[in-house]
Structures are given as structure tokens and as C-alpha cells.
Amino acid sequence: MATKSSKKASKPEAKQPDKQMHQKITGRLGKQHQPIELNYLASLGILPLRLMGGLGLVMHGIPKLAHATTWMEGSGLTAAPGYMQAMAAVIQVFGGACIFLGLLTPAASLGIFTVMVVAVFKRLEAGQYFITMTGAGTGDSASFELAALYICLCLLMLTTGPGRFSLDAKLFGHRKDK
């Protein structure tokens, strides 16, 4: 009997496949890349912000993909080089989809944060302000309040993670914040 119990004690525990995948994806970042474990109500509060913000990013980015290298022309802004406009459009669409799903949220949030900071500076460079009434209802956004809201969404996702109701939480688990 002593041999059976020693065999059980010496068996190494098998790693779960999702944890192995997480380690491969995040590399050296390890547990710092996992979302923080939030309580049920906090996760429920973050959910509509994540869903609507992600959907808004996708819906604003899709038309830019149709004219990926020229979408800034005629906007009153100093146009960035074509390849940067294409990268911004791709980041906006795929990053928005990732935020909507709660998948690879830190990477998506960092990319969108960068694009939106550039958008704010481009608006300021063009003499546009936080909110203006010109263009209201016409689809012409001559202000940067939407970009500022997306920046806030990205900061929320970077600091708290996407919450319990996300693919990140399902695939990678949560980290315990000390």
C-alpha cells in the first residue's frame, strides 16, 4: 500500500492547455497579462462599455478600410502617410473586435490607445476642440470627444481587464491582484 500512495504523490500535475497557450502568447509577461479577477457586478458594469465601445470602433473603422490609404483626405486634418492610415484603420477594426469579444484585450487596448492619442493631436493641430456643434447630426466630427472616450475605454481595459464575461477570462483565467 505504501507504494501506491508514493506513486500518487510523485505524479506531476498536468498543465491545462489554456494555461500553456497563455504562456506561449504572453511570453515573459506571464501573469501580468492575465485580467484581474473582478467581482460579478464590476464585470457586469464593464460589459456594456466593452461591447458598445468595441462595436463603435469596428463600425467607425470599416468605412476606413474601404479607402485604407486615403481616408484622411478631405477631413481638414493633415493626412498621415498612406501606410499609417491603413495601420490605423486595421487597428481600429480588429482592435475593436478584440475589445468587443474581450480577446487579447491588453494588446488591442494599447493599439487603439495609440491611434486615438494621434487622433486627438491631429484634431488639436487642425484647431478643433473637445466638442463643437458644427457638424452635429451630419456625420462630420469636427471635435475629438469620441477619440477621448475611446482613450478612456482603453485605459479602463488596460487597468482592469475585460472582466469575467470575456474570452480572455475563459482562455487565460484571472490573476489575483495583491
pLDDT of residue 92: 95
Number of domain units in the chain: 1
Q: Is 45 a domain residue?
A: yes
Domain membership of residue 103 (yes or no) is: yes
Whether residue 73 lies inside any domain: the answer is: no
Q: Within a domain: residue 141?
A: yes
**Residue 65, in any domain of the structure:** no
Q: What is the pLDDT of residue 51?
A: 96
Say which DSSP state 144 is in.
Answer: S
End-to-end C-alpha distance for the chain, whole angstroms: 42
Whether the predicted pLDDT of 45 surpasses 60: yes
Q: Percentage of the chain surpassing pLDDT 90?
A: 37
pLDDT of residue 24: 55
Residue 14 pLDDT > 60: no
Residue 87 lies in a domain: no
C-alpha cell at 121: 493631436
What is the average pLDDT value for the chain, to the nearest integer?
78
Indicate the SS3 state at residue 72.
Answer: coil
CA–centroid distance for 106 within its chain:
6
Identify whether 139 is part of a domain.
Answer: yes
Higher-confidence residue of 111 and 39: namely: 111
The conformation of residue 74, written as its DSSP 8-state character, comes to T
In this prediction, residue 138 carries a pLDDT of: 46
Which structural domain range is residue 128 located in? 32-55+93-172
Q: Is 85 domain-assigned?
A: no
Q: What is the pLDDT of residues 128-165, one digit of tens each?
A: 777 766 654 444 556 788 899 999 999 999 988 898 89
Q: What's the whole-number mean pLDDT along residues 20-43?
A: 62
